[in-house]
Amino acid sequence: MEDSFEDLIASYIENKVGIAEHFLTPELANHLKQNLLDLNQRKVLVTAGVGNSDKLLYDGAIRSDSIYWLDKKHNNVFENEFFAKIEAFIVYLNQSCYTGITGYEFHYALYEKGDFYLKHLDQFKNNPSRKYSMISYLNSNWQEVDGGELLIHQLNNNQKISPTQGKTVFFKSDELVHEVLVTQNTRMSITGWLKVD
């Protein structure tokens, strides 16, 4: 487990973008993907918005994915296993990098063919509590023609990251503008933020 934690931290220090190819085990990724597909089948996902609280907007010209917030109260064994991994990573991160993270929030994100999310930052203008963004991908057999890459914009080094199953990406929420390119296939992830409340 600590190997994937160190992969995230070391690559983040090197390039401002942490990547661990196997943060999620194949078994856990498959179970989480099945959860997401079941939730979608039950039509409980909601249209994703932009902004927060009273500033929340729904604009399909900016983003077109659907989401479902994870919560321990759902008492889903696989989601709780995911939370346990995140909590262990937070302990490791706080001990090794003194980040002071005190909480987190995560949701499933589902992009159907043609969906996208334009350039944005992950931190709200009226609430700076989100410190680090984390995305864990749930897409097996992903091919380049499927699109849907995460494109991170840096001054001299734009980085395109394929959303392959088990991979997790980690970066500062208030630093890196990024976007999700148009997907040509169903694209699934768990997206969230490590917070200082």
pLDDT in tens, 70-123: 999 999 999 999 999 999 999 999 999 999 999 999 999 999 999 999 988 777
Tokens of 31: 């179970």
pLDDT of residue 51: 60
Q: What is the mean pLDDT of residues 36-51?
A: 88
pLDDT over 90 (residue 8): yes
> Which tens digit of pLDDT belongs to each residue from 128-162?
789 999 999 999 999 999 999 999 998 778 899 99
Position 50 confidence tier, pLDDT thresholds 50, 70, 90 = low
Torsion of CA 192, 98, 178, 8, to 10 degrees: -80
Position 1 confidence tier, pLDDT thresholds 50, 70, 90 = low
Q: Label each residue of the chain as H, E or C.
A: CHHHHHHHHHHHHHHCCEEECCCCCHHHHHHHHHHHHHHHHCCCCEECCECCHHHCECCCCCECCEEEECCHHHCCHHHHHHHHHHHHHHHHHHHHHCCCCCEEEEEEEEECCCCCEEEECCCECCECCEEEEEEEECCCCCCHHHECCEEEECCCCCEEECCCCCCEEEEECCCCEEEECCECCCEEEEEEEEECC
pLDDT over 80 (residue 60): no
Q: What is the pTM for the complete model shown?
A: 0.92
pLDDT of residue 30: 97
* CA within 13 Å, CB half, 93: 26
Q: Cα separation of 54 and 127, whole Å?
A: 12
Sketch out the chain's domains with CATH numbers: 2-195 (2.60.120.620)
Q: Shortest CA distance to 185 belongs to which of 149, 160, 158, 159? A: 149
Q: Cα separation of 119 and 43, whole Å?
A: 27
154 versus 39: the higher-pLDDT residue is 39
Backbone phi and psi for residue 96, each to the nearest 5 degrees, phi listed first: -90, -25
> Which tens digit of pLDDT belongs to each residue from 170-187?
999 998 999 999 999 999
Q: Cα separation of 116 and 139, whole Å?
A: 16
Q: Cα separation of 154 and 138, whole Å?
A: 25
